[in-house]
Chain A
């Protein structure tokens, strides 16, 4: 690390708390962001000379607040009519500075900052972009790169999202218990979206998009540190860690998908797995199950298996059964069918997915799984039809490449018989 690299780390990590507190003072996202930006500029000048402050976030909040108040006062002199509200609000802010920095505010500040990005009017992609910009502090350029769009398009997307958020009523009162729980689950869902945006990348873009996964993990850990005893936040964090632990093993050198069974498990990241398993153990003790915990528990069973044949599919089947009750969805049943096929054979798996055919008629994975079951049953013609349909529905080139591999195998298997028949 260069001598000033530690400053970048300190500014990034202080950002959610500082912008969250400044947002509470000024009740305006743009003012809060600008105040934080100004405080960072001063930090870059002051910290290398004076060393890091004991509490970087408090320093940035104080300096950001003072600079912004100065700016507002200077602006005020040029305006004939001062805004009374703004002035009384600022006096208030000064008096209550100590109180406003206390621990419980700090949790709700960060939660609020995350929560305003989850505005229900915002489509998922805008929620994610906004969170990465204002909470994580990624530059528009970095976000555009991760989303594989132009910087101008991303700039526009973020501006539009900000406009919508600032038109909405941001709740500044300290939330009650029920409200806090609602905010937590909205924020958890948004963090999961950020992760998936990175995780669902295909092989050729996985490296560019991996920072999204890392950022989601950072935000999940942050949220968990604020709400240490929330089993679903433990579950969410564990789920992200356990999935991301497999990143290095998920694609071959050509960018094609490598399925769990075929992955080189020595490439799995052991510290991430250890952290994920520790969290799921902690969560289970609360005996308050939820969808993130169940999904994490499934990921944990995969992570604990040293070889594919050590996987406890019976337990995975049970867990998917629990998830079906919590979050009924044909996709969950499809996943369960894979576990069922491992325990009771491909026929049982096929029986389970047949009723889903209509609802998943445009779903790539449905035809991939169906094709695989049929292939295992030796019903090769039907398997080929399913795989052809899967290729047509593939979302990424890596998905298509993976199915093509199955088709090639079917081709090879049928070749010798074809030759014989010709003789």
Chain B
């Protein structure tokens, strides 16, 4: 009795997996044409005789751009298998320098002297080139009912977010003309690239920050927090502000040359300082030389990042800089 039951269960499982295997290949061929393909498909609809696989990992900030590029690239190159993961810039670099991934998305430059990054890449013979693909404008936002903080200087930001900031800070301590209300602070998680960049730009040193703020790894939570309290202030990527303009208000930043509000223009031409941070990809040049698919992918990336980055909420790199990236790429991996 037991044996037959066990055998029955095993047979059921086996049947299910076979059915699934058949099902998935069946479903693949009946799924919407523009995107589905399995490893078996060699002649792809839409042309493009390129085949191969590309593994991309890294920053969750750069991820949306890479996702957009991958989706568009796939439409004309259905024979290439691409997987995009987001383990974080650090985790991504470790895998990249171990030779496990083909491209690393990064929201900060690689740390050349670090044992798990630059040094590991050298030891393992992983050659790369740093390509900037977009700019993210870190936006400081306040509640729409906040009528006083329309422009803040870097010094004022430091009062709010600096390491010496007291636990109970009031707005009038930031500027005597502001009301005497508590400052309700929000900020991204201390391990995110946004945090690292902001603290370095505003407080002078990476990781130098007040601890008296509500932190969240999920920027949506920060938006909700700022939108929910009249005295709240928070900072996050521009995309999160752009999507929620009805709920929050951006603060102009005075980096020494007058008040500049974050817009696509000011971030793109560099006048929104110093809170514009570059976003990079690091392709493995050795692998690109050996794989036409990888080379084609990066070519496509550089050619289309301007449009696609804007679509997902980032700002395109200025034209001259973009040309430089293309030259650098073609120099490292000739056509």
A is bound by B: no
Interface residues of B (CB under 8 A from A): none
